[in-house]
Structure 1
C-alpha cells in the first residue's frame, strides 16, 4: 500500500485506472466498531456510481464502495514464472482452440462463434438427454471464442451471439479468461453487466514437455493411434453414449493439427485408461485422460501421458498444456507432480435467460 510521509495510507487510484491491475485496502464493514481491513488485488474493471469492481485472478469479482477505500495503487503485472515454458495469453488461447475445433463456426470481427451439436432422436436414450432436442458437445465447442475486437460494440456482439445460438437450439455461451497479462477481465465484467452468468471455471496449466517424457512410467501397454475407435469412446466419460457416437463428437475429438489417441487395454472391450494429445508446433495439449475407477492410483494416467509426451517430443514439441477444473483435486495433484503450473483461468459465461 502507498504510505505518505506522515505514515497514512493513501488512495492513489481513480476511475481513469479502469483496465489496470491494482491493489487496494478497504474497510470490510464500516458499521462495525473498530475498523477491520482487507486487501484485494486484481484488474479494476469498473468504477461507477461510487462502487469499484475488481476482478481477481480466479475470475471472482469484488465490489467495494468508494467510501470504504483506505488505500489503493496501480501495481505491475504478476512476475513471469521462472521455470518451464513462457507463453502469452493470446498464443496459448489460440493453441487450445485449435486442439478442440467446432463443427460449425462463424466469425464476428475477431471473435468466433462455435457450435458442435447432435440431435437426440424422438425416442430418446435411456439415461440421456431429453428426446427431440439438440445437445451441444462440451461448452468449449459450443461457445464464443472472444479473442480480440468483435468489430461492433460488445453489447451488440452479445446480442448477435444470443440470436446465433438460439437459431441452432443451443444455449449461448462465451468463453473468457482471467489471471494473466492480456486476459479478459474487462470482458468478464461486461458479460456480468449484460446478464451473463459464470457457469464453470478451470485452470489452463503449462509445463516443460521433456520431464513428462522422462518419467519412469511403464508405457509397454499403452497403445497410440491416429484413429478414434469405439473402444476409446466407451471409456470417454463425456461421450453421449449413442451406438453411433455422434458425428459431431467424432469431429471435435479428431480435430487438431496432429492428434493422437492413447489407450490401455481393459476388460469387456473398454480400455482401462485413455488419453488424447494434440501436437501443434512447440505445444502438446493433453486432454481426455480417463482411468477406470477400479484401477486408479496404479500409475495408468502417468503411463498414458508419458507415452503421449514421448510421441509429441518426437514431433518437435517442447512445451505442454492442459486444462483442469478447480475442484478436481486428484488431477491437480497429478499435474503438480509433473511440473505443470497455472498460467490463467478460463470461464464459460451463459446467457441468463429471464
Structure 2
C-alpha cells in the first residue's frame, strides 16, 4: 500500500482508474481474531454509485463499498512468469481458437463469430478480442442476431487474470444480464521437458481420430460435425494407446501451430488410471510437436478436474488466465 511521508496510508484511486490493475485495503465490517483490514488485488472493473468492483485473477469478483477504503493505488502488471513461455492473452486466445475450428465463422470487426451446430461452447461462441468496429451494445445485438439465425444461444468467450484480458468486458456483459455458465483455466508450459519424459506404453500417432479413438472420446456419439472440428487446425495429431479390446486404453489430441502445441482430449480408461498412460500420450505428442518446431505448450482444464490438474502440475504447466463463457439473456430480459 502507499504511505505518505508521515507514515499514513493513502488512497490514490478514482473512477478514472477503471480498467487498471489495483491494490486496495478496506476496513472489515465484522473484524475477527484481531483482523481489521482486508487487502484485494485485481482489475478495477467498475466504480458505480460508490461501489468498486474488482476482478481477481481467478475471475472472482469482489464488491467494495468506497466508504470502507483506507488505501489504494494502481499497481504494475504481474511480473513475467519464471517458468514456461511468455505470451499475451490475445496471442493465446487466437492460437486456441485456431486449434478448435468451427464449421462456420464470420468477422465482426476484430471479433470472431463461430458456430458448429452446437458442438461445444468454444466452437459456438463469439471471441471478442480487439475492436468489433461498433459500440458495445450494437456489437452484442449483432452477436445475438447471428446466433439466433442459426438456432443457437449466443455465447461470448472472455477471460480474466492476465495482461490483455477482459475484466471490464466481463463486467459489462454481467451488467447487461449475460450469465457466466462455465469457467476453466488455460495453462502453459515449456514443451521440451514434456517430450523428455521416459518412454511409457507404446503410443500410436495418426492424422485422423478413427472409429476406435472416437470410441474412447468422452463426447459419446461424436457426430460428423464433431469429427470436422476435431480434425481442423494447422497441424493436428491424434494419439492412441491400444487397449485389450477395440476401445483404446488412452487417447489424446495435439495441434501444432508455430511455436505452440495445444493438447486436448487426453482421456484414459477409468480402469487403467494412475498407470502413466496420460503421461505417455502427452510425451508422444510433445515429441512430434518438437519435431515440427514447436517450443511451448498450452492446454485447457476445468477447475474441478483434480486428476488432470495434478498431472499438468507435474508436467510444469502454470495457469496463464481463466476463461469464461457468458450466455446472453433471452430477448426482452437484458
Distance 1:66 1:235, change over 3 A: same
For this pair of structures, how many residues does the alignment match? Answer: 331
8 Å Cα contact 1:211/1:338 also seen in 2 = yes
1:160 lines up with 2:142 in the alignment: yes
5 Å matches for 1:223-262?
223-239=204-220, 241=221, 245-262=222-239
5 Å matches for 1:1-354?
1-29=1-29, 36-117=36-117, 136-219=118-201, 221-239=202-220, 241=221, 245-353=222-330, 354=333
Structure 1 residue matching 2:83: 3-state secondary structure = coil
Q: Could you report, residue by residue, the CA deviation over 1:190-233 in whole angstroms, capped at 9, with x for unpaired residues?
A: 111111111111111111111111101314x2110001211111
Structure 2 residue matching 1:41: 3-state secondary structure = strand
Give the gaps of 5 or more residues in structure 2: none
8 Å Cα contact 1:30/1:68 also seen in 2 = no
CA distance in 2, matches of 1:319, 1:185: 26
The alignment yields a C-alpha RMSD, in angstroms, of 1.7
Q: CA deviation at 1:273?
A: 0.3
Structure 1 ranges of 4+ moved more than 4 A: none
8 Å Cα contact 1:22/1:75 also seen in 2 = yes
Give the gaps of 5 or more residues in structure 1: 118-135
Structure 2 residue matching 1:91: 3-state secondary structure = helix
Q: CA deviation at 1:305?
A: 0.5
CA distance in 1, matches of 2:244, 2:28: 57
Q: CA deviation at 1:350?
A: 1.0
8 Å Cα contact 1:232/1:270 also seen in 2 = yes
Q: CA deviation at 1:285?
A: 0.4
8 Å Cα contact 1:258/1:280 also seen in 2 = yes
CA distance in 2, matches of 1:285, 1:193: 33
Structure 1 residue matching 2:29: 3-state secondary structure = coil
CA distance in 2, matches of 1:70, 1:155: 35
- Worse-matched range after superposition: 45-54 or 5-14: 5-14
CA distance in 1, matches of 2:90, 2:143: 22
Q: CA deviation at 1:267?
A: 3.5
Q: CA deviation at 1:87?
A: 1.2
CA distance in 1, matches of 2:126, 2:39: 33
8 Å Cα contact 1:50/1:65 also seen in 2 = yes
Q: CA deviation at 1:14?
A: 0.5
Q: CA deviation at 1:176?
A: 0.6
CA distance in 2, matches of 1:61, 1:21: 13
8 Å Cα contact 1:198/1:349 also seen in 2 = yes
TM-score for both structures, normalised by structure 1: 0.90
Q: CA deviation at 1:138?
A: 0.8
Q: CA deviation at 1:263?
A: 0.6
CA distance in 2, matches of 1:169, 1:63: 36
Q: CA deviation at 1:35?
A: 7.8
8 Å Cα contact 1:260/1:277 also seen in 2 = yes
